[in-house]
Amino acid sequence: MGCPDLETLAAFVDGTLTPAERRSVVVHLASCEACYEVVTETLHSEDEATAEEAEPAPAPVVVHPRFRRRAWRLVAVAAAVVVALLPLVLGGGGEWYEVSEGVVVGDYSARWGAPEDTFRGAENLPSVAFSDLRLGALLADVQVAVEGGEREAVAERLGVLKGELSESLQVRARGVGRLRETVEAEGLTPTVQQEIGALRDDLAHLSGVELRLGFWAEVSRLAVVSGDEGFIRERRWRRQLREFEDADLPDPFPEFLEGLRRALEEGDAGDVQSQLTRLLRG
């Protein structure tokens, strides 16, 4: 058997091969020094890049009446906006769902032309019980817009986020408002992107697994809408979905996740999209 192509080796590193494909690669690595070297060097490079990005964050700022503006500057992390996997401290740990490059980019409302195709956060989710879910989905939309370099979309979504936070987290809402003003005035500078990453981590520390579920569900929905067949076919959803299923979420989440799993196993993209939308809208 000849060497697998480089993308197959990359997919092996990413864990997106089928079991049979993975076995085939492993068997090959046992006897091919060239491919073994490429795979191990890729692993080391990725681990090094992840280690550089995941600098430990300062302790989260506690909501307090005396919270000051400059505290926002302290809540900065080294996590890059582009594809960072950050372990959560609360909620039993876990990871952010990775926004796959080349798939989830840009302002979808403008691109696909219909508002219901893009999750607009608070406008679509009426239930208070889903507030953390909604926050997660909003953060996903913010990140998508950041990755697409869409300054106006980022500012708009930060505005929605501010409205969402204003009832329960007034101090943070004001901080988000200032961040929005900075985006409008200065654009998506590296500092601004860092603060957006810090915002996500800050909210993650305060919220539970529902926030990550909302983030993942929205990113997954956008992946399916964009036609990323690899997301379903290569079962990229597998690990994250299992984590949420094991997270002992309250009703009615288990029922939603069950329906979602069924759709994913069957591979029906339309049904998957419906299930994700149903999850996000409550």
Partner 1 sequence: MPRPKYGADPEAAEACFVRRARDPYFWFAVAVGGAPLTLESRSQSAAEALFLEALPQIERIIAATCRRKGLQGAEAEDFASTVKLHLIDKDYEVLRKFRGQARLTTFLTTVIHNQLRDFRIRKWGRWRPSASARRLGTVAVQLETQLMRDGLTFPEAVGVLRQNFQVEETEEALEALAAQLPVRFQRRFTSDEALARVATPDAPDPVEEAERAERTEIVRGALAESLGALDEEDRVILRLRFEEGLMVSRIAPLLDLDQKALYRRIYGLLAALREALKSRGVTWAEAAEALDWRQGELADPEEKEESED
Query: Applying CB under 8 A, which residues contact partner 1?
Result: 6-17, 19, 22-23, 26-27, 29-31, 34, 36-49, 83, 98, 100-106, 111-113, 225-230, 232-234, 239, 267-270
Q: Which secondary structure element, helix H or strand E, spans residue 73, and what is its range?
A: helix 71-74
Q: How far apart are CA 138 and CA 121, in angstroms?
A: 5
Name the residue nearer to partner 1 (CB basis): 91 or 106. 106
Name the residue nearer to partner 1 (CB basis): 141 or 210. 141
Among the listed residues 198, 147, 155, the one whose alpha carbon sits nearest the alpha carbon of residue 180:
155
Q: How far is the CB of 274 from partner 1 (least distance, A)?
A: 13
Q: What angle do CA 73, 75, 80 make, to 5 degrees?
A: 100
Name the residue nearer to partner 1 (CB basis): 184 or 268. 268
Q: How far is the CB of 228 from partner 1 (least distance, A)?
A: 5
Q: How far is CA 104 from CA 51, 112, 142, 206, 212, in A?
A: 24, 13, 12, 26, 17
Q: How far is the CB of 101 from partner 1 (least distance, A)?
A: 4
Q: How far is the CB of 24 from partner 1 (least distance, A)?
A: 10
Q: How far apart are CA 223 and CA 238, in angstroms?
A: 14
Name the residue nearer to partner 1 (CB basis): 10 or 173. 10
Name the residue nearer to partner 1 (CB basis): 72 or 216. 216
Q: How far is the CB of 26 from partner 1 (least distance, A)?
A: 5
**Helix or strand or coil: residue 189?**
coil
Name the residue nearer to partner 1 (CB basis): 62 or 82. 82
Name the residue nearer to partner 1 (CB basis): 45 or 168. 45
75's tokens:
């809540």
Q: How far apart are CA 113 and CA 181, in angstroms?
A: 26
Would you say 12 and 25 are in contact if contact means Cβ atoms under 8 Å apart?
Answer: yes
Q: How far is the CB of 114 from partner 1 (least distance, A)?
A: 9
Q: How far apart are CA 201 and CA 203, in angstroms?
A: 5
**Helix or strand or coil: residue 187?**
coil
Cα 222 to its chain centre, rounded Å, is 11
126's tokens:
């009426």
Q: How far is the CB of 71 from partner 1 (least distance, A)?
A: 31
